[in-house]
């Protein structure tokens, strides 16, 4: 599993070219990347770059993909 995650991080996220280097930020970003990879694997996503482009262009579809499309919006009046 670690080899697969590393390959996806290097290719899909261009992790080798990352400029995040201070403090715990590299480990935090790696954790987020692993989370996205795990979610995409569970959702049977075949092309990560295609999914990145699709969800970037249509963020509402990401919520549907994650099963969060039924969340009701609350209106707060000040």
Query: Tens digit of pLDDT for each residue in 20-49?
Result: 778 888 888 888 888 988 999 999 999 988
Name the phi and psi angles at 68, rounded to 5: -105, 20
Amino acid 51: pLDDT? 92
Confidence of residue 9 (pLDDT cuts 50, 70, 90): low
State pTM to two decimals. Answer: 0.64
Contacts of 30 (CB under 8 A, 6+ apart): 9, 15
Angle between helix 48-57 and 25-42 (nearest 10) = 100
Does the pLDDT at position 72 exceed 80? no
């Amino acid at each position: 599993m670690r080899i697969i995650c590393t390959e996806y991080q290097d290719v899909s996220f261009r992790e080798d070219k990352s400029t995040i280097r201070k403090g715990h930020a590299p480990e935090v970003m790696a954790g987020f990347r692993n989370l996205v990879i795990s979610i995409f694997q569970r959702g049977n996503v075949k092309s990560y770059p295609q999914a990145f482009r699709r969800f970037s262009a249509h963020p509402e579809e990401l919520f549907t993909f994650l099963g969060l499309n039924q969340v009701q919006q609350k209106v707060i009046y000040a």
